[in-house]
Structure 1
Amino acid sequence: MTIDVVTVNGSGCKQGSAEVIVSSDNTSFWVIYSDYLAQAGKGAGATDFRKNCQLTLQINVPQGFTYGIAEATYGGYGYLKPGATGYQSVNYYFQGQSATTTWKHSFTGPFDDNWSITHKTEFSEIVWSPCGEQKNLNVNSALRVDKGSSDANTNSFMTMDYQRGEVRTLHHFSWKRC
């Protein structure tokens, strides 16, 4: 299996700030971001409260197989003042299909810590690529911060970052024969 990045679009992943790496056993892939931050409150711009990144990936699979995303781990850092809320979400879908897998998680202030969320989909609920067709996989993730009732003179933020300012998200495939 190989993965080709077709497009990278969004306020959370400007051109050149996202990289996709396939595991050596072809069961998963990493996405490494270098600039993914949502913030609200003092000093934040009008559109800084929500950041998203849509990756369009061409997954080249062996003939006779189909795949879907079974599990994904996202992580980062959050600094939310009392009364503020942070949100992380992602949805996966194939080009031209209405079926989607969506995961959402919220964080409530006060919060000042690293975070890691693992989303799992039951095998029977996985959205599968169409057999015998080459359809792009779309991965649309988002971070959002709502300042809520927090002090207007403070700033709250969510970022998907690890050491060295990179975001690493791990996606696990499930495979089956067509």
Structure 2
Amino acid sequence: MNAGLLVSGAVAALFASVLPAQHSPSGISDPPPDKIVIDVATVNGSGCPLGTAAVAVSEDNTAFTVTYSEYLAQVGGGSSPTASRKNCQLNLIVHVPQGFTYAVASVDYRGYASLQPGASGTEKASYYFQGSPNTASRTHTFQGPYDDNWQATDATDWAQLVWAPCGVQRNFNINTELRVSAGASAPSATSYMTMDSTDGDISTIYHLAWKECPRN
């Protein structure tokens, strides 16, 4: 991993969510015993400038952690027009143990929003494997007045999971976006939305499903 990406700050954990194989006709399996290795190919976006995002894998092979420290969208109060929308694209190289594949089953996003009356905040996320035409995208909107933690969950039915191709290395892309609109009620008042919580810890949880690849 690029040492320049190692930062302290908000933490997003991606936990493995599994179903016992005997209960699923699609071959859902427990997480593989071997370690997952994740490298950051690229990290780009106004919400994750250089040196403010990093990825690490947990020791028990059930999670990988994305760390952010400057992910905030804001309007009003003299904010720059470009500050109203922030985004981050992570291009990850996921080295999965041989014989296994994975899919993103659901994602839990959490953060904090301070929205004036009439203002709104939007969180959007997209997920896709490099070279795949299948892109999963979800959007969640919060209306002002709002001054509290927020949470949003993206969920995919098991039958509609998009699995990483077996035996082929395809980078996994995670695109997230925060957007804040001032609205007409108080256009000059400050409204903002962050991808973190009040104690500074981000807690975006990506639940993964695992299954064994077909044997040749």
Counterpart of 2:89 in structure 1 is 54
- Corresponding position: 1:171 with 2:192: no
- Paired position in structure 1 for 2:103: 68
Q: Choose from 53, 58, 67 the match for 1:32.
A: 67
Provide the rounded CA distance (Å) in 2 between the counterparts of 1:163 and 1:80.
15
Once the two structures are TM-superposed, the CA of residue 166 in structure 1 deviates from its matched residue by 4.3
Read off the aligned partner of 1:132 and give its amino acid letter.
G
Alpha-carbon deviations, 1:83-139, whole Å to 9, x = none?
A: 111000111001111101112111000000011222221111111111110000000
Equivalence map 1:128-147=2 (5 Å): 128-147=163-182
Matched, 1:109 2:144: yes
Say whether residues 1:14 and 2:49 are aligned partners. yes
Runs of 4+ in 1 over 6 A off after TM superposition: none
- Residue 165 of structure 1: CA displacement? 3.3
Structure number having the greater strand percentage: 1
Q: In the alignment, does 2:158 pair up with 1:123?
A: yes
Larger radius of gyration: 2
Distance 1:54 1:162, change over 3 A: same
Q: Please give the secondary structure, in 2, of the residue aligned with 1:47.
A: helix
Higher relative contact order at CA 8 Å, sep ≥6: structure 1 or structure 2? 1
Partner of 1:44: 79
Q: CA deviation at 1:162?
A: 2.8
> Does the CA-based 8 Å contact 1:84-1:147 persist in structure 2?
yes
Shift of 1:27: 2.9
- Find the aligned partners of 1:150 and 1:42 in 2 and give their Cα distance: 14
Structure 2 letter corresponding to 1:91: S
Aligned to 2:192: 157
Residues 163 and 145 (structure 1 numbering): CA distance in 2 closer, same or farther, change over 3 Å?
closer
- Is 155-164 or 125-134 further displaced after alignment? 155-164
1: CA distance, partners of 2:62 / 2:52? 24
Q: Distance in 1 between matches of 2:136 and 2:55?
A: 20
Aligned position for 2:112: 77
Q: Deviations over 1:38-82 (max 9, x none)?
A: 011231101111100000001100122111111212111100011
Q: What root-mean-square deviation, in Å, do the aligned CA atoms of Structure 1 and Structure 2 show?
A: 1.4
> Could you tell me the percent identity over the aligned residues?
52
Q: 1-side partners of 2:155 and 2:40: how far apart?
A: 24
- Report the CA distance between 1:6 and its aligned residue: 1.1
CA contact (8 A) 1:38 1:49 kept: yes
Q: Which runs of 5+ in 1 are unaligned?
A: none
Structure 2: give runs of 5+ residues left out of the alignment.
1-35
